[in-house]
Every structure is written in structure tokens, then in C-alpha cells.
Amino acid sequence: MTAKKKNKLSKDHINQLIKSKAKELGFFACAVSKAEFFEEDVKRLESWLKKGFHGEMGYMKNHFGKRTDPRKLFENAKSIISVLYNYYPKTIISEENNYKISKYAYGKDYHFVMKKKLKKLIDFLHKETGEFNSRAFVDSAPVLDRAWAARAGLGWIGKNTNLITKKHGSYFFIAEIITDLELEYNEHRVPDHCGICTRCIDACPTSALKPYELDARKCISYLTIEYKDEKTSDTFKGKLNNWIFGCDICQDVCPWNRFSKPHNEPEFEPSAELLKMRKPDWENLSEKQFDRIFKDSPVKRTKYKGLKRNILFQKSG
């Protein structure tokens, strides 16, 4: 089949090819939205930034236009293919006499794992449809991942500000491919199913959450990863609940996560050494051990110095 002939495939047929291949690659959901100016999210983002809720994450202010209009990020953008990838672990690391890291950081860095899968999806589409331009994003550029996934009908953004699905909860990664391929677009949004529930807001020990809004400056994930000062504010003494990298509280208490099922990704499995670690092991962790245990891990983001700061803050609290 020639490239010219391939390009005559219907939009609907290409959509089906995309979803079928995405499923084969392990993504449990895939949908397409039109790449255009996202007016409703502009107001939300502007309000959030004006309140200073982004804290030291100055990059959230950068490239505002690109963040709210993908056509400014990727020339000739017509479609956004959003995909979801489960990371809910088979084994939860014991919390007994232990510090805690977020479930997404148990294994290999998701950026590496998902980028490889998105490349395979793009390569497959080139074979099926001929030439087109595209770019894959895994939480690595000014892209409003949750907003585009919600717009594509993959879930709703809950009161804890996470994307939630009725069948899978919220323990999943979001990624997207922006392309100049013109495709069929999903126009059916998922309604909000949070109802009157406020469990996520009530459970947050630092009061970082209001309905549908997060003050990152108080968020444990922000404080243990994004916050770069040498010392964590004493305001949070006794409130970080042994979290030293990230936090899952607002997801753990969400009723929709009772539907979470263990992932099938070997690269997300925690190492035997990580599973065995307890408080004394963390407290005595050397930089050499850190580099070995967390090679290619999301935990590398906080660096050895940052992780030790978090551990010492918890120990002193």
C-alpha cells in the first residue's frame, strides 16, 4: 500500500487504528480532542497563578500562550491524542516503621516508559497513514494534560484536582501526542461524579485542597519534590505523615479508587531492596546507595540532598 493510498483512510478508521494500537501498548484508555484555544482553562489558570498557588514553580507562568493553545506549542496542530496508563501497584510498600513515597515512584521513571510506548504508537501510525508531523509529551512541556484528557472524554477533574475515571479511579499517568493529522474528535465529556463527597479535602493534613483547587505551597508533594529550600517550614511540623517523596492521601481516600486494579508494567515494580527498606535504612542512606537504588527512578528528581532534607524533617518532627 502506498503512502498516497494510506492517506485516503477515513478519520474514523485512523481513530480506530490509534485506539487499537494504544490498547496493545498497554494504555487502558485513549481518545482524541481538537487542538484549539482552551478558553475555559485560561481563566482557571490565570486565577490560580494570581493567588500564588504555584509557589516556586515559576515554570507554570512560562509559555502561558502555549499552555492554553497547543497550536502555539506545535505548528499546524490539529489533534491531541490523550492516553492513560495505569500505575496502581500490586504490592503496597509497608508503612510500618517506614517513610513513604508516592506509588508512582515505586519503579522506573514513567517518562522513560511512556515515551517509548508513544514512539511505537507514532511509528505504527506512520506505517498505516503515511507522512504526518507529531510530538509526544509526557509531563514534560507546557501542556494541560488533565484538561485535554477531560476534554477528550477520558474522565472528570475531581475536587482533589486529579483526573478521575469511574472504572479505574485516578492512579494513572496521562500523556499525549499532538499531531497535524485531522481526526474524529470526541465531543462527549464525562460529567462530574464527585457529588457531595469531600473526603480528599478533609483528609489533607496541610489543608492544601479546596474543592477543585490546590494550593501547591501547602501540598506535601510540592514540599517534598518541588520546594528547593534547604529547610522545610516549621509550619508543617508533624503534618507530613512520614511522606518523603510525593503524597497519595487525596487519592487513597477517594471512593473511586476502590476500583483501581494492579498494573501489568514490569518496569513499575519496586525493587526487592526498596521493599525491605525501613526508617533506619532511609536515615542511614548514603549517596552511593541513593544513586544505585533510585537509578532511573522519579525519586532522582529530589536528588540526594532533597531526600535527606525530607527525611531529617520527618525525623525531627
pLDDT in tens, 267-301: 999 999 999 999 999 999 999 999 999 999 999 99
Instruction: Let me know if residue 290 belongs to a domain.
Output: yes
Which domain-ending residue is among 119, 149, 179?
179
Highest-confidence segment of 3-7, 67-71, 85-89: 85-89
Of residues 23 and 56, more confidently modeled: 23
| Residue 172 sits in the same domain as residue 242 | no
Question: pTM value?
Answer: 0.94
The answer to whether the beta carbons of residues 19 and 124 sit under 8 Å apart is no
128 phi/psi in degrees, rounded to 5? -85, -35
291 in the same domain as 237: yes
- Mark whether 138 and 72 lie in a shared domain: yes
- Which one is predicted more confidently, 55 or 27? 27
Domain that holds residue 161: 3-179
* Residue closest to 183 by CA, chosen among 27, 37, 78, 84: 78
Calpha distance 133→110 (Å, rounded):
24
Inform me whether the pLDDT recorded for 60 exceeds 90: no
Q: Say how far apart CA 130 and CA 67 lie, in whole Å.
A: 29
Per the CB < 8 A criterion, the answer to whether 208 and 220 are in contact is yes
* 228 and 299 part of one domain: yes
pLDDT band at 142 (very low <50, low <70, confident <90, very high): confident
Is 45 a member of any domain? Answer: yes
**Percent of the chain predicted with pLDDT > 90:** 83
Answer whether residue 66 is part of any domain: yes
Give dist(CA 248, CA 241) in Å, integer.
11
- Asked if 72 and 219 sit in the same domain, the reply is no
Least confident of 46-50, 95-99, 233-237, 263-267: 46-50
- pLDDT band per the 50, 70, 90 thresholds, residue 317: low
Task: Indicate whether 146 and 248 sit together in one domain.
Answer: no
Q: Residues 66, 206: one domain?
A: no
104 in any annotated domain: yes
- Is the per-residue pLDDT at 14 higher than 80? yes
Residue 24: closest CA among 264, 260, 210, 252: 264
216 and 94 in a common domain: no
Model confidence band, residue 8 (pLDDT cutoffs 50, 70, 90):
confident
The pLDDT of residue 3? 41
Confidence of residue 1 (pLDDT cuts 50, 70, 90): very low
How far apart, in whole angstroms, are the C-alpha atoms of residue 302 and residue 64? 25
Give a yes or no: residue 114 inside a domain: yes
The residue assigned the cell 532511573 is 296
With a CB cutoff of 8 Å and minimum separation 6, the contacts of 182 are: 11, 78, 79
> Are 106 and 223 contained in the same domain?
no
Range from 106-110, 139-143, 270-274 carrying the lowest mean pLDDT:
139-143
Do the domain assignments include residue 266? no
> Which residues are known catalytic residues?
139
> Are 43 and 109 part of one and the same domain?
yes
Q: How many domains does the chain have?
A: 2
Q: What pLDDT does residue 4 have?
A: 42
- Residue-averaged pLDDT of the chain: 93
Asked if residue 156 is part of any domain, the answer here is yes
In a shared domain, residues 34 and 162: yes
162-213 pLDDT per residue, tens: 999 999 999 999 999 999 999 999 878 999 999 999 999 999 999 999 999 9
In terms of Cβ atoms closer than 10 Å to its own Cβ (0-12, 13-18, 19+), residue 281 is middle
Are the C-beta atoms of 106 and 270 separated by less than 8 Å? yes
Q: Report how far residue 302's alpha carbon sits from residue 26's, in angstroms, rounded to the nearest whole number.
A: 28
In the structure, what pLDDT confidence band is assigned to residue 2 with cuts at 50, 70 and 90?
Answer: very low
Does 123 lie in the same domain as 216?
no
